[in-house]
């Protein structure tokens, strides 16, 4: 019984779509609609192509997934200057085995903090989701914004600081410089 965490490939879009649809389907009963609940296989393929989608594969089967979106991702609204993680899912047959925790830790620590040197990460979940906000808060995420998505779902945005020193430096530095400031630097 072996497993590996790796980048998803476009050829896996249909299998990943199926995993995500099955994982998010119970939320529809609670009136919670995320973009993935209306996404097509081609939408998933586009995300694999334009964002960074990790999968946890156990014995050759896609078992868990988490996607990271960056500020340079085309046609997306970004609320904060850090990577945004979304489309988190664990296959029903593997729930309770720790694979969700493992893929989240890998993306947060190995990929974002250690490789990309990101000071923080953020995500969103439905305010009325019965347990996800509490799960993320136990993982160190803190709410910082509430908004309603285009599907009418009230979302809570949570951030997690991955590197306090880098985060503090970023918070103190201007994220956008004026043209006048840039001219003085030239």
Q: Which two tokens stand for residue 133?
A: 């906000």
**pLDDT at res. 184:** 54
Is residue 128 predicted with pLDDT exceeding 60? yes
Structure-model confidence comparison of residues 15 and 34, the more confident one:
15
Determine the Cα–Cα distance for residues 77 and 133; give it in Å rounded to an integer: 22
Residue with tokens 């285009």: 150
pLDDT tens digits, one per residue of 90-109: 998 888 888 999 999 999 99
Residue 43: what pLDDT? 94
Residue 100 backbone zone (phi > 0: left; psi -120 to 50: alpha; other: beta): alpha
Confidence of residue 110 (pLDDT cuts 50, 70, 90): very high
Radius of gyration of the chain (CA): 17
More confident residue, 132 or 167: 167
Give the model confidence (pLDDT) of 141-152 as tens digits.
999 999 887 778
pLDDT at 8 over 80: yes
Angle at 122 between CA 20 and CA 69, to 5 degrees: 55
pLDDT at residue 92, rounded to an integer: 87
Confidence band, pLDDT 50/70/90 cuts, at residue 176: very low
Q: How many helices (H) and strands (E) does the chain have?
A: 6, 7
pTM: 0.86
What pLDDT score does 182 carry?
Answer: 45
Q: What is the mean pLDDT of residues 124-129?
A: 86
**Mean pLDDT, the chain, as a whole number?**
87
Helical pair 41-50 and 13-28, crossing angle rounded to 10 deg: 110
Q: What is the pLDDT of residues 41-64, one digit of tens each?
A: 999 999 999 999 999 999 999 999
SS (H, E, C) 84-143: EEEEEEECHHHCCCCHHHHHHHHHHHHHHHHHCCCCEEEEEEECCCCCHHHHHHHCCCEE
Average pLDDT over residues 8-16: 97
Higher pLDDT, 110 or 181: 110
Q: What is the DSSP letter of 6?
A: E
Six-digit token pair at 144? 């910082």
On whether the CB atoms of residues 20 and 74 are closer than 8 A, the answer is no
What are the tens digits of pLDDT across the range 76-89?
Answer: 778 889 999 999 99
Which strands form 142-148's sheet, in the order they lie side by side? Answer: 3-7, 52-58, 61-69, 84-90, 120-126, 154-161, 142-148
């Amino acid at each position: 019984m072996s497993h590996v965490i790796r980048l998803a490939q476009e050829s896996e879009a249909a299998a990943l779509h199926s995993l995500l649809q099955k994982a998010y389907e119970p939320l529809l009963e609670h009136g919670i609609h995320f973009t993935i609940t209306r996404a097509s296989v081609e939408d998933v393929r586009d995300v694999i192509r334009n964002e960074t989608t990790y999968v946890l594969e156990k014995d050759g089967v896609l078992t868990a997934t988490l996607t990271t979106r960056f500020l340079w991702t085309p046609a997306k609204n970004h609320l904060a200057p850090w990577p945004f993680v979304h489309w988190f899912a664990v296959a029903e047959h593997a729930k309770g085995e720790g694979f969700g925790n493992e893929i989240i830790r890998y993306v947060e620590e190995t990929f974002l903090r250690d490789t990309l040197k990101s000071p923080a990460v953020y995500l969103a979940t439905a305010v009325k989701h019965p347990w996800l906000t509490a799960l993320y808060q136990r993982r160190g995420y803190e709410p910082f914004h509430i908004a309603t998505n285009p599907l009418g779902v009230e979302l809570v945005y949570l951030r997690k600081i991955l590197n306090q020193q880098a985060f503090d430096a970023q918070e103190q530095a201007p994220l956008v410089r004026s043209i006048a400031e840039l001219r003085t630097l030239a």
